[in-house]
Amino acid sequence: EQLANQIAAGEVVERPASVVKELVENAVDAGSTTIDITIEEGGLSLIRVTDNGGGIEASDIQTAFQRHATSKISTSSDLFRIASLGFRGEALPSIAAVSRLTCVSADSNSGLARKLVIEGGHITADEPANAPQGTDMSVKDLFYNTPARLKYMKSIQTELGHISDYINRLALAHPGIAFTLKHNGSTLLRTMGTGDRLQVIAAIYGTSAAKAMLPVSASDSDYELTGYISKPDLTRANRNGITVVVNGRYIRSHTVNQSLLQAYHTLLPINRFPLVVLELGMHPGLLDVNVHPSKMEVRFSKEAELRALIERAVREALVSQRY
Ligand code: ADP
Ligand code: MG
């Protein structure tokens, strides 16, 4: 069991950013409206995620750290859940196997809090606690007992870069959740959770960037597209400023990137790239899970139609601003 957890950890917990991703996604799934992320030393000494979501019932807290124990039921209409099937119920035991983890959680029904401490996969404390509703996960000394893995870690700055990039995109995907990200005591991101995506863009890219955004909007019988693209006077050296959200989840899509850049570069034949946040809504049946779930790749079943819609939306947004 312990060995299985360490093996699984190798797949699920590649680096500090993967721990952050798993913990923060659990906080989002728990219905939180506030999620605070505290990082020390690029995540190698501390990753702490505190949320105000539904919490874990005291009697379930040990179960949550057992392999394949998940409270989330997959339905055929929730393809994103099915997409992460491979890792279902594996994150917490995997993380606990390679760190010193403390979980304090108070569930919304009983209001009772419980604290569980796991070191290298072994439970060292399980006791009543005092805490507000929600969950507080502290992961200390990541990979302390897997020195081979620790050796592969890049610089603190590199690890932090991955964490920060992921949290930024998650905040863009969830403008209704108030996120804070702190590293070694300084605040790197704070969003308000008002639901206004322009506010999140301002928090990440600055207020002048937010002012330079044009609304994008188009729909047909299958797809609904909303979001923002930067005006031609605000460009970037690479395509990292493109964030795509599908049915509320941040994903990577070659198809979406390609069609929006096709339209953009037809109008603006420059070797620069726009800042973009695109949200696509569709029936989950039109989504196909592609390749490796952790890469967040998806495939769309009516691809040609979607491409045409994106190209039209980008063209309309930019042409409306032509001077
Ligand atoms: P999965 O997310 O695939 O279900 P995890 O190992 O990530 O598996 O989590 C196991 C279970 O622990 C979840 O199904 C959920 O019931 C519970 N859990 C984990 N984190 C939280 C949280 N922040 N708030 C409430 N419940 C949580
Ligand atoms: Mg999870």
* Mutation to probe ligand 1, out of 70, 133, 170 (largest number of atoms < 8 A from CB): 70
Report the atom number in ligand 1 closest to the C-alpha of 54: 25
- Cα(91) to ligand 2 centroid in Å equals 6
Does 50 contact ligand 1 (Cβ within 6 A)? no
- Cα(71) to ligand 1 centroid in Å equals 7
Phi, psi dihedral angles at 13 (to 5 degrees): -110, 80
The ligand that comes nearest to the alpha carbon of residue 101 is 1
- DSSP symbols for 245-305: EETTEEEB-HHHHHHHHHHHHHHS-SS-B--EEEEEEE-GGGEEE-S-GGGTBEEETTHHH
Does 91 contact ligand 1 (Cβ within 6 A)? yes
Per-residue pLDDT of the chain in tens (323 residues, 90 and over written 9): 667 776 666 667 889 999 999 999 999 999 999 999 999 999 999 999 999 999 999 999 999 999 876 666 554 444 444 444 335 678 999 999 999 999 999 999 988 999 999 999 999 999 999 999 999 999 999 999 999 889 888 899 999 999 999 999 999 999 999 999 999 999 999 999 999 999 999 999 999 999 999 999 999 999 999 999 999 999 999 999 999 999 888 888 999 999 999 999 999 999 999 999 999 999 888 887 655 555 577 889 899 999 999 999 999 999 987 54
Nearest C-alpha to atom 23 of ligand 1 is from which residue?
27
Task: Give the count of alpha carbons within 13 A of 146, CB side only.
Answer: 28
The ligand that comes nearest to the alpha carbon of residue 133 is 1
How far is C-alpha 291 from the chain's CA centre? Answer: 18
- Cα(274) to ligand 2 centroid in Å equals 33
- Cα(269) to ligand 2 centroid in Å equals 43
Within 8 A by CB and 6+ apart from 58, the residues are: 107, 110, 112, 113, 114, 128
Cα–Cα dist 193/178, whole Å: 4
What phi-psi label fits residue 42: left (phi over 0), alpha (psi between -120 and 50 degrees) or beta?
left
- Cα(146) to ligand 2 centroid in Å equals 22
232 closest CA partner among 160, 124, 321: 321
Cα–Cα dist 78/84, whole Å: 11
- DSSP symbols for 107-132: -TTT--EEEEEEETTEEEEEEEE---
- Which run of H or E residues covers position 223? strand 223-230
* Mutation to probe ligand 1, out of 18, 21, 24, 26 (largest number of atoms < 8 A from CB): 26
* Mutation to probe ligand 1, out of 25, 63, 92, 179 (largest number of atoms < 8 A from CB): 92
Nearest C-alpha to atom 4 of ligand 1 is from which residue?
70
